[in-house]
Amino acid sequence: MPARPVLLTVDDDRAVSRAVARDLRRHYGDRYRIVRAESGRDALAVLRELTARGEAAALLLADHRMPGMTGVEFLEQAMDLAPTAKRVLLTAYADTDAAIRAINDVDLDHYLLKPWDPPEELLYPVLDELLEAWSRTARAPFEGITLLGHQWSAETQQLKEFLARNQVPYRHLQGEDAAGIRTAADLADDATLPALLFPEGTVLRRPTLQQVAQQVGLATTAGSPFYDVVVVGGGPAGLGAAVYAASEGLRTLLVERTATGGQAGQSSRIENYLGFPLGVSGSELAQRARDQAVRFGVELLTAAEVVQIAPKGDGRALLFADGSQVAAHAVVLATGVSWRLLPADGAADLTGRGVYYGAVAHEAADCAGEEVFVVGAANSAGQAALHFARFASKVVVLCRGTDIRQSMSEYLVARIEADPLIEVRTCTQVRAVEGADHLERLVLADSRTGATEVVPASRLFVFIGASPPTEWLGEAFLRDDRGFLRTGPALLDEAGRPPRDWPLTRAPYHLECSVPGVFVAGDVRAESVKRVASAVGEGAMAVTLVHRYLEAN
Determine contact, residues 513/483, Cβ cutoff 8 Å: no
Its pTM surpasses 0.85: no
Helices (H), 109-153: 119-122, 124-137
Residues 466-509 pLDDT 10s: 889 999 999 999 999 999 999 999 999 988 899 888 999 999 99
pLDDT at 359: 67
Residue 98 Cα distances to 63, 74, 270, 320, angstroms: 12, 14, 23, 55
Determine contact, residues 272/244, Cβ cutoff 8 Å: no
* Ranges of the chain whose pLDDT falls below 50: 1, 52, 140
Residues 48, 384: Cα–Cα separation, whole Å: 29
Helices (H), 187-332: 209-215, 236-247, 282-295
**Nearest residue to 267 via CA among 253, 282, 254, 251:** 282
481: alpha, beta or left, given left = phi > 0 and alpha = psi -120 to 50? Answer: alpha
In DSSP terms, 422 is beta-bridged to 395
Question: Structural domains in the chain?
Answer: 6-137 (3.40.50.2300), 145-204 (3.40.30.10), 226-337+468-552 (3.50.50.60), 355-466 (3.50.50.60)
Determine contact, residues 41/67, Cβ cutoff 8 Å: no
Q: What percent of the chain has pLDDT over 90?
A: 62
pLDDT at 439: 95
**Nearest residue to 306 via CA among 221, 242, 239:** 221
Largest CA distance in the chain: 79
**Nearest residue to 512 via CA among 256, 332, 248:** 332
Residues 291, 308: Cα–Cα separation, whole Å: 28
> Is 481 exposed, middle or buried, given 0-12, 13-18 or 19+ CB atoms closer than 10 A?
exposed
Residue 277 Cα distances to 126, 272, 390, angstroms: 14, 8, 21
Handedness of CA 430, 434, 435, 436 (dihedral sign): positive
What three-state secondary structure class fits 255?
Answer: strand
What three-state secondary structure class fits 453?
Answer: strand
**Nearest residue to 472 via CA among 358, 341, 333:** 333
**Nearest residue to 236 via CA among 334, 142, 100:** 334
pLDDT at 1: 44
**Nearest residue to 431 via CA among 407, 455, 408:** 455
pLDDT at 91: 83
φ/ψ of residue 156, rounded to 5: -60, -45
